[in-house]
Amino acid sequence: MAQYNNLVIFLSELRKSIRLLGISLMVLTVAVFFLSTGLISVFQNHLNEKLYFFSVAGPFLAHVKVAFFGAVYILMPLLMYVLWKAMGKPFGVTGKRLFWFVAATCFLFYAGTLFCYLVTLPFGVKFLLGFQSEHMKAVISIGRFVNFVTIFILAFGVIFELPVFMIFSAQVGVISRKTFEKNRRFAVLGIAILAALLTPTPDVVNMALMGVPLYLLYEAGIMVIRLLQIDEKRARARMEKEAAAEPDTEGPVDS
């Protein structure tokens, strides 16, 4: 029953900001659309690839996708604030704690996207295109290129946020550190499935490029929970609360 109430509170709090998020996303997508040509050029020059299109609407749709990607990227702090505010309200996570969750999530998101853009993405593209030869040359469509780059970058930004959500789960008592430690094998399986779903191409290399950092982040989340002693603090708080709630069993003292 408590979980149902928490879900209702979360959805009602989230609903308050849906309209603001939708309007902001649409307005910013239109604004970024006029910069999309430059953004595509930046990606293209960074990966040193020539692009082609095979349909009349191909270039336009590619620019729309890049504009939407740019809008989501810029609005991430607002998105995270709305999400954490809704998630934290049922558990009383407000004020400074809410601020630190939002700040940490945004920092890790942008760190993940930069890591992907500077390290993982060039390596993955170079590896995948390394199989071409004199008789087999790559002809990359602009639509496929934009899908590959934007999904890969956003996916890395999202998975880098894993430790923060693990810390939140431990702090509100949903999942303890011991549970994370005991279920490492299931975490590995889940990470492999998630990497297969989020990577644009279902090859082992791209899955490993996402799966290995994700597992390291999983272990980092466990380490931070241990260092902060979140489980111990929650146990002490629960014991103090139970002790304070116990009725006085001693009878009245005769004078």
How far is 42 from 65, CA to CA, in rounded Å?
15
Query: What 3-state class would DSSP assign to 178?
Result: helix
> Within this chain, do residues 204 and 217 fall inside the same structural domain, yes or no?
yes
> Within this chain, do residues 178 and 140 fall inside the same structural domain, yes or no?
no
> Within this chain, do residues 31 and 149 fall inside the same structural domain, yes or no?
yes
DSSP string, the chain: -HHHHHHHHHHHHHHHHHHHHHHHHHHHHHHHHTTHHHHHHHHHHHHT--EE--STTHHHHHHHHHHHHHHHHHTHHHHHHHHHHHHHGGGT--HHHHHHHHHHHHHHHHHHHHHIIIIIHHHHHHHHHTT-BTTB---EEHHHHHHHHHHHHHHHHHHTTHHHHHHHHHHTTSS-HHHHHHTHHHHHHHHHHHHHHHSSS--HHHHHHHHHHHHHHHHHHHHHHHHHTHHHHHHHHHHHHHHHHS---S-PPP-
246 in any annotated domain: no
225 in any annotated domain: yes
Q: pLDDT at position 255, please?
A: 45
Closest among 55, 63, 58 to 38, alpha carbons compared:
63
> Within this chain, do residues 207 and 221 fall inside the same structural domain, yes or no?
yes
> Within this chain, do residues 165 and 225 fall inside the same structural domain, yes or no?
yes
> Within this chain, do residues 37 and 104 fall inside the same structural domain, yes or no?
yes
46 in any annotated domain: yes
222 in any annotated domain: yes
Q: pLDDT at position 29, please?
A: 94
Give residue 233's domain range.
Answer: 161-240
Which of 123, 158, 193 is the C-terminal boundary of a domain?
A: 158
> Within this chain, do residues 93 and 10 fall inside the same structural domain, yes or no?
yes
- What are the backbone angles phi and psi of residue 34, rounded to the nearest 5°? -75, -10
> Within this chain, do residues 165 and 118 fall inside the same structural domain, yes or no?
no
> Within this chain, do residues 110 and 15 fall inside the same structural domain, yes or no?
yes
30 in any annotated domain: yes
Which of 158, 178, 201 is the C-terminal boundary of a domain?
A: 158
> Within this chain, do residues 9 and 110 fall inside the same structural domain, yes or no?
yes
User: What stretches in the chain show pLDDT beneath 70?
Assistant: 1-4, 199-203, 237-238, 241-242, 245-255
Domain count for the chain, please give it.
2
Q: CB under 8 Å to 76, separation ≥6 — which residues?
A: 106, 109, 110, 157
Which of 94, 127, 158 is the C-terminal boundary of a domain?
A: 158
> Within this chain, do residues 71 and 154 fall inside the same structural domain, yes or no?
yes
Per-residue pLDDT tens over the stretch 15-69: 888 888 889 999 999 999 999 999 989 888 888 878 888 888 888 999 999 999 9
Per-residue pLDDT tens over the stretch 70-82: 999 999 999 999 9
105 in any annotated domain: yes
Q: pLDDT at position 151, please?
A: 86
149 in any annotated domain: yes
Q: pLDDT at position 132, please?
A: 75
**pTM, whole model, 2 decimals?**
0.83
Helix (H) or strand (E) holding 244: helix 230-245
Q: Which two tokens stand for residue 131?
A: 């199989």
Residue 122's alpha-carbon distances to 145, 148, 151, in angstroms, are 13, 12, 14
Helix (H) or strand (E) holding 52: strand 51-52
251 in any annotated domain: no
> Within this chain, do residues 143 and 212 fall inside the same structural domain, yes or no?
no
